[in-house]
Structure 1
Amino acid sequence: MKRQWLAMGMIVAALAARGGELEDARAYQKSRAAVADLTRITAPTGIQESYKADIGGIGQWLYVRGQDRANPIILFVHGGPASPAIPTAWQFQRPIEEYFTVVHWDQRGAGLTYRDNPPAQVAPTLTVARYVDDTIEVAEHLRKRHGKGKIILMAHSWGTVPALGAALKRPDLFHAYVGVGQVISTRENERISFDYAQAEATKRNDQEALKDLASIAPYPGELPITRERIVTARKWPQHYGGLSAFRSESTYYFGGPRLSPDYAPDDVATIDQGNVFSLGRLLPEFVTVDYSRVDTLRIPVVMFLGRHDYTTPTAPTEAWLRKLRAPYKQAVWFERSAHMVPWEEPGKTLVSLLRYVRPLADGKMPAAE
């Protein structure tokens, strides 16, 4: 009898646990549905579509949203490598969609594009030059599909590497270039970021950080910047607020994809998978990126600079922009942001796009400050 009661108790406990899991699953689905409903575009003039296009010989995913098809198009080139913006765009983008049609794109080796293409086929194509050409192809595709003469090119972090290359190679495609967390010199960025982490760790007497940083010093030094070294080097400046200002963690960003209405739960895993797949292959070339000798750009340039950014430190970008010759150039400082400017200060992001970028798409020249 005792065994029967024990077995019955185990069954009841298992059913209760299963019931809790089902309740959690239902709550999760309801949360995703609420985000989907909030972000759903219902305006008759609007556009909301997600589809795969042939870019650079493989199917690559595009995500298009806006309240009015007549508005200028922003092509947003995500960071990483392989950190797609589609699954977290719902956190900051909705107000921007009232004034622009915004296009996100899962680059080769990233997110849904990584999911849908054989890795063996894609791996040999992971070069900066190929990403530059992909950016150009996406821009041409959007111009043709939406009947636009030009579009706005906006890029974040790693995405600024191929995007600036595309702006230099095909300025005829773009009204303007907007860099967020701009990469000018990867090695200089790594040096500044490391020095910041060491200074903060010393000030805080953070022995764990000091020991960790000492293990890769001098950094970057003369040794190759391997995946292991760059992960260690990025860990501490980001912990001290160099990724998201005044935060040691960025849970809002890394956890955000789970609520995305555009990524199924199973698709969220492709973010980390694509990052691991792409970073190691791109890193040797990425660490040699140096745009510091570029002194002319034939389109207007606007830089969004996070005051506390020590993921891609702003000093090289500020110095580069000062000497750059361009039809128009403007630095916009975000005092409460580090690296994640659109996520950290979405209001100022919108206001800055309207003040400095929208006029350029309308053929006007805003006053430089």
Structure 2
Amino acid sequence: MTSIIESVYLNHIQLYFSINPDSLHKPLILYLHGGPGDSCIPLTQKFNASLEEHFNFINLEQRGAGLSYYKFSAHRPPRIATFIEDIHSFVEYLLKRFNQERLILIGHSWGSVLGMLFIQRYPQLIAQYIGVGQVINMRHNLQLQVQFLKQQGVKLKKLDLKHNLISDSLYLTKKIVQQQGSLYGKTNYAMLIKPFLTAKAYPLTALINRLRGSQQSIKFLWPELMQINFETVQHYSVPVCFVEGRHDHHVAATLVQDYVHTLDQSVPLIWFEKSGHFPQWEQPQQFNQTITQLCL
């Protein structure tokens, strides 16, 4: 089975997504990509296509990102709340279209921020939430990134995260990648770039727009993202599960490990021993089997 690209006009923008429109009666999975702005349809089509055997797997390219790119207004840029309302409108569109009451939500990295906020606001629409590379506390994560790099013997430049938040955060991420803390056993993102170069959905203009979308999303959303902290949330009204790469120092998996012990409900934490921040693409066969077992 192969998903196709469709679009729908919601909240004054055209949103693009991958979907198998013939999977009328299968459970719906909505995948929220990372970033902000890191659209990834070619990656889920390559690595996660087997999920379409059991689910209608839908990957939404969020506003301003990838195929859904448009130039943000500097005077009225979107906020995190804007994305939550986009997802709400899109979820209602999917549920109505396929005559279902709830869907399964998977959020990765930045998408896990959106996912956790969404299930708190609209739990009645969600059958299950799965956080991958789950964000818990962004400020604490920065501290753990610095700690990991120093343990690796990396000499860091003088950081000023108060005045140079975006540039210094991106600098730390680059160093994390080089130290195999993002993709386990790899010092670059080559394996995540190649599928875009051969994707039919991504001609040259789309590749350029993906880069533009990523840049503008970081510029306008990063400061707000840095304020995210879920540590005070002790209960969720939907079933929750976390899927983590054992070697994730990009978004420190240890924060998730500590967090699950503070919750007043049982939340499974599933480890991928040969993954960093991207278990869905580093160990795709195991990931797809895990999602199938969790959700069927």
- Which residue identity is paired with 1:158? W
1:94-243 equivalences under 5 Å are 94-114=49-69, 117-120=70-73, 124-200=76-152, 202=153, 209-210=154-155, 213-216=156-159, 220=161, 223-224=162-163, 226-243=165-182
What are the superposed Cα offsets for residues 216-269 of structure 1, whole Å, 9 maximum, x if unpaired?
17xx5xx24522111111111111111110111120102321111222232111
Gaps of 5+ in 1: 1-39, 42-47, 203-208, 359-369
Aligned length: 296
Q: Which moved more, 1:265-274 or 1:179-188?
A: 265-274
Match of 1:276 among 210, 215, 218: 215
TM-score between both structures, scaled by the size of structure 1: 0.76
1:331 aligned onto 2:286: no
Contact 1:135 1:163 in 2 (8 A): no
Structure 1 residues 100, 199: CA separation in 2 closer, same or farther (over 3 Å shift)?
Answer: same
Percentage identity across paired residues of the two chains: 24
CA distance in 1, matches of 2:246, 2:94: 33
Q: Which moved more, 1:255-264 or 1:245-254?
A: 255-264
CA distance in 2, matches of 1:157, 1:297: 19
Gaps of 5+ in 2: none
Match of 2:229 among 290, 298, 312: 290
CA distance in 1, matches of 2:264, 2:23: 34
1:55 aligned onto 2:25: no
**Aligned-pair Cα RMSD in Å:** 1.8
- Which residue identity is paired with 1:88? L
Structure 1 residues 67, 331: CA separation in 2 closer, same or farther (over 3 Å shift)?
Answer: farther
Name 1:13's counterpart in structure 2: none
Structure 1 residues 289, 177: CA separation in 2 closer, same or farther (over 3 Å shift)?
Answer: same
Larger RCO: 1 or 2 (CA < 8 Å, sep 6+):
2
Contact 2:77 2:220 in 1 (8 A): no
CA distance in 2, matches of 1:55, 1:123: 21
Contact 2:64 2:71 in 1 (8 A): no
- 1:215 is displaced (CA, Å) by 2.2
- Which residue identity is paired with 1:72? P
Contact 1:111 1:267 in 2 (8 A): yes
SS in 1 for 2:179: helix
- Which residue identity is paired with 2:274? R
- Which residue identity is paired with 1:131? F
SS in 2 for 1:191: helix
